[in-house]
Amino acid sequence: MQVFSWCFVFLVLLCFSWAQVEVAILEVDTSQELSVGELLERANRDRTPDFDEPVLIGGDIAVRSEADRNADPCTSSGCLWLKYTDGNVYIPYYIANHYSDREREIIVRGLQSFSTVSCIRFRPYQNGDHEWLSIESRNGCYSYVGRVGGGQTVSLSHQGCLYHSTVQHELLHALGFNHEQTRSDRDNHIRVHWDNIIEGMEYNFYKINTLNQGTPYDYNSVMQYERYAFSKNNLPTMEPIPNSNVSFGKATQMSQNDIDRLNRLYKC
């Protein structure tokens, strides 16, 4: 009887373990199907910031205070990272030691992806660096837009932020880029359905003087949110025009337009 009891307990534990594995696999598969906008909105939906964390606008854009909420972040050359005489832009980074080896690999892969398509060169932090990206797992996914001085936080939380698309998205913010749907020419390409937006979230759709660099509006940009972003009623908050059936906001990595405007902005 005792042997039977132990066998029963073992089978229960085995089934529970397999159930956990199946759930984990399902979560990974589901996440891989989501666009960068969906991943970011999900990761930041129930965010409870610590006292020392910044205010967020646009879902994942950090600003220093509430007073900066209505400012246009990084609309001048003063927020760009410096270019060296060899033609490259070297940006120091520090990755906090609370990431696992696998998580660190995802972050490093995202950092290195810029060097193959542009003059951006992310390099490890060295003593004496005065400005750098401090990549940490804080509450949610977020970044400041452009160079703000000192060790500026890029938050890539363990919970939902460690995907190639989200790493590239936050790094593009740090390089000076805003969301595609906030472009000054947005209304020629996207119709915003204000009545479907969660109350208090309308500012996420305000237009600003973005750094478009003469490139066309890009539905496939890794900076473009999907059509149900910040929806309060499961109805679209954005609709492409003139063809409402055009797919948009589904990017999982930088588009060619993202790369082109990055190279133009930094004169690579």
Given the structure tokens 């478009």, which residue do they identify?
A: 212
Given the structure tokens 């998580």, which residue do they identify?
A: 103
**Phi/psi of residue 229, nearest 5 degrees:** -60, 130
Nearest to 40 by CA among 25, 58, 27: 58
**Distance from C-alpha of 137 to C-alpha of 72, rounded to nearest angstrom:** 26
> Which positions are annotated as active-site residues?
170
User: pLDDT tens, position by position, for the chain (268 residues)?
Assistant: 444 444 444 444 444 444 443 333 333 434 456 888 889 888 888 787 788 888 887 788 888 765 555 555 666 557 899 999 999 999 999 999 999 999 999 999 999 999 999 999 999 999 999 999 999 999 899 999 999 989 999 999 998 999 999 999 999 999 999 999 999 899 999 999 999 999 988 888 998 877 778 889 999 999 999 999 999 999 999 999 999 999 988 998 999 999 999 999 999 9
E strand or H helix at 133: strand 131-136
**Distance from C-alpha of 112 to C-alpha of 123, rounded to nearest angstrom:** 9
The reply, when asked if residue 173 is annotated as ligand binding, is: yes
The reply, when asked if residue 179 is annotated as ligand binding, is: yes
Residue extents of the structural domains in the chain: 2-33, 47-175
Indicate the DSSP class of residue 54: P
Q: Which CATH superfamily includes the segment(s) 47-175?
A: Collagenase (Catalytic Domain) (3.40.390.10)
**Distance from C-alpha of 200 to C-alpha of 263, rounded to nearest angstrom:** 35
pTM: 0.84
Question: What pLDDT score was predicted for residue 212?
Answer: 77
The reply, when asked if residue 193 is annotated as ligand binding, is: no
Question: What pLDDT score was predicted for residue 19?
Answer: 41
